[in-house]
Structure 1
Amino acid sequence: MSKSFSPGFNRRLFIQSAVAAAVFPTAWAYGSPCRGPQPNPPGDLPRGPFGIESTAEQVTAGLDLNGINVVITGCNSGLGYETMRVLASRGAHVIGTARTAEKAEKACASIAGKTTPVVLELGSYESIHACTDSINALNIPLDVLMCNAGIMALPEMKLVNGLEAQFAVNHLGHFLFTNNLMPAVSKAKNARIVILSSCAHFLAPETGIEFDNLDGSKSYAPWAAYGQSKLANGLFAAELSRRLDGTGITANSLHPGVIKTNLGRHLAPREDDKKDEDIYDKTTPQGAATQAYLAAHPAPANISGQYFADSNPALASEHMYNEELAAQLWDVSEKLTS
């Protein structure tokens, strides 16, 4: 199994990110350096035949996923829905979660293939436990666990379980969800855990994770908070990979691209004359490609602890490779979700 590596800090990318974030935080989320092909990491990680224009259907073409059980959070719209649709069309049994029974059932019923709708509110520990209890009760191996759901750039500070909402939902919700499902994941042979991060993790605070400000009481900036939550997603995948070394289970994170989905519902209306194609670099089918690739394609089967974009390994920020930071985040997350 491929180990995590530390490629050193990409100062050019960091400076570009910092300047753009400081001056045009909203534009940054839709533009450089997230928009377009992502930098390759150093090293000899294998690259596949797919790229920025590949779709989820293309990266799974010809695959027979019959007998494969997949869990996808946030199946009712956007990338989660497209990924569920494509994997189910290849024969996988997809357990799709949404915040309400109505949304989950409607999404699952609207596609061809075997699906099971489940309710999951990532901001509620009670809901997470109820959801994972019901999935574990199915007594089936989970071949793929995909943490896809999330919220982005809340304009005003909001608390969830006494913590800043984006960190609480995007990271802690999936941290508890994943750990609760490890018994079912461990039943599968060579299971894969796929966690959606984002290139926006470059917008995380200078220290990476502000452990002394997880409730946002000292300061709050929407994009920095979102970036912190996405950095936490990547650190979680990396630390999970280290803890699972030798088990045959892989864990990776990814940047899907800049896509127009319901994730951007909190963004203020644009007042410029740009067209969508000037801002977004991928369609929803293209945005779902990397997560579908990590979930099902044979090429990354033995790669773990990495950050992907455009269906290939990509270069993350220096913080993403900080093993001490990842271990500290794990310990804090355990305490916060206990």
Structure 2
Amino acid sequence: MNMAFSAQSTGEEVSQILSGQIKGSNALITGVTPGSIGFTAALHISQHKPNLLILAGRNISSLKTAQDTILSTTAHAPTIKLLVLDLSSQESIRQAAAEVNSYPDPITHLVNSAGVMASPYATTADGIELQFGTNHIGHFLFTNLVLPRVLSSAGTLRVVNVSSAGHKRGPVRFDDIGFNNGQDYDKWAAYGQSKTANMLFSVSLAQKLSDKGVEAFSLYPGRILTGIARHLKDEEMMKAGWMREDGSLIQDPKLNWRSLSQTAATLIVATYDGSISGRNGSYMVNNVVSNGDAEEYALDPVNAERLWMLSEELVGQKFTY
């Protein structure tokens, strides 16, 4: 553990400490809508001379806004590429991966930050329950499609999968990931399943590829209300014990409310801190490895392998390393 980091560390602080690791890197971040955790991490990283910063998302106008903001606030801005990537469409994912693989330099850091939360029942373009399909399957396919380019270049890659304390809401429902085609749908159980999958994916990557220069971590960035919470109503947040009737947030330490900069800090630490390399496959909370805060099913190697095989079935492609 890097003793310079605390639970209160901000994105500005950790990126300054890790500036030597950020400099010269080629980072790709999904989910960079302005105001999001992913965008905030990208903004802080951009201040420390990465070689290439790839901003990935489904909306080109949002990507351009993110780019303009970074360019207007960064004295020595890196090369920025905008990548249209719709994680709910395997066709879009394959096109985006092919574009990334055509770049002169392979990526060195991949932050899978995009996601949906507690959304009404829907399916992806490929018929998979939307939260599982977007949050996990989309990132599973994209990551595996860009990995061969990295490995063939004898490069290294650190993959960061943004999970949540919401993984505690449930394991992967291997026999019914789609909630009986939506008839038994529970939006929170579906979210929990997808966040557990993010953690298990990190476990698998560490197991399968650690000897090839790949590191993978999952993390809980802390509790914050960003655009991902657009499906939540005040009544739900009051019932959950997050909010008072007057609309103010309940500041219970157990809820782990974070500022936007503090949530971005854990992404940056997970992406660049070399001191955690020996904990490959681990789960992080508030800037430190914190496997004790994870449910056992979310770090279980047997579940990880089972999920890998299921994911291969859902994308119609095997990935063997």
Q: TM-score range by the shorter chain?
A: 0.7 to 0.9
Hey, what does 2:241 align to over in structure 1?
none
Structure 2 residue runs of 5 or longer lacking an equivalent are 239-244, 317-321
Task: Write the distance in 2 (CA, Å) between the matches of 1:277 and 1:102.
Answer: 35
Q: 1:337 and 2:309 equivalent?
A: no
Runs of 4+ in 1 over 6 A off after TM superposition: none
Hey, what does 1:214 align to over in structure 2?
177
Instruction: Give the drift of 1:277.
Output: 6.0
Task: Write the distance in 2 (CA, Å) between the matches of 1:48 and 1:323.
Answer: 29
Tell me which of 172, 191, 198 is aligned to 2:137: 172
Output the TM-score relative to the length of structure 2: 0.86
Structure 1 residue runs of 5 or longer lacking an equivalent are 1-45
State the AA in 2 paired with 1:273: D
Q: How does 1:244-263 map to 2 (within 5 A)?
A: 244-263=209-228
Hey, what does 1:158 align to over in structure 2?
122
8 A contact 1:145–1:185 mirrored in 2: no
Of Structure 1 and Structure 2, the greater helix share is in: 2
Instruction: Give the drift of 1:188.
Output: 6.1
Secondary structure at the counterpart of residue 87 of structure 2: coil
State the AA in 1 paired with 2:309: D
Q: How does 1:133-282 map to 2 (within 5 A)?
A: 133-154=98-119, 156-160=120-124, 161-186=126-151, 187=153, 189-204=155-170, 208-217=171-180, 219-270=184-235, 272-276=245-249, 278=251, 281-282=257-258
Task: Write the distance in 1 (CA, Å) between the matches of 2:275 and 2:115.
Answer: 27
Output the TM-score relative to the length of structure 1: 0.81
Q: 1:95 and 2:73 equivalent?
A: no
8 A contact 1:192–1:295 mirrored in 2: yes
Secondary structure at the counterpart of residue 257 of structure 1: coil
8 A contact 2:223–2:258 mirrored in 1: yes
8 A contact 2:234–2:247 mirrored in 1: no
Task: Write the distance in 2 (CA, Å) between the matches of 1:318 and 1:300.
Answer: 20
State the AA in 2 paired with 1:74: G
Q: 1:322 and 2:300 equivalent?
A: yes
Q: 1:50 and 2:28 equivalent?
A: no
Task: Write the distance in 2 (CA, Å) between the matches of 1:196 and 1:184.
Answer: 23
Instruction: Give the drift of 1:123.
Output: 0.1
State the AA in 2 paired with 1:84: A
Hey, what does 2:242 align to over in structure 1?
none
Hey, what does 1:25 align to over in structure 2?
none
Hey, what does 1:34 align to over in structure 2?
none
8 A contact 1:143–1:190 mirrored in 2: yes
* Superimposed CA distance per residue, residues 257-310 of structure 1 (whole angstroms, 9 cap, x where no aligned partner): 001211101111346225236366101100011110111223224431100011
Greater shift in the superposed pair: 177-186 or 125-134: 177-186
8 A contact 1:236–1:330 mirrored in 2: yes
8 A contact 1:47–1:313 mirrored in 2: no
State the AA in 2 paired with 1:51: S
1:127–1:107 CA distance, 2 compared to 1 (3 A):
same
Task: Write the distance in 2 (CA, Å) between the matches of 1:176 and 1:318.
Answer: 25
8 A contact 1:48–1:312 mirrored in 2: no
State the AA in 2 paired with 1:124: S
Tell me which of 291, 305, 311 is aligned to 2:287: 311
8 A contact 2:172–2:197 mirrored in 1: yes
Task: Write the distance in 1 (CA, Å) between the matches of 2:31 and 2:167.
Answer: 20
Tell me which of 127, 131, 136 is aligned to 2:92: 127
Hey, what does 2:41 align to over in structure 1?
83
State how many pairs are aligned: 289
Task: Write the distance in 2 (CA, Å) between the matches of 1:283 and 1:238.
Answer: 28
Instruction: Give the drift of 1:183.
Output: 2.2
Higher relative contact order (CA 8 A, sep 6+): 1
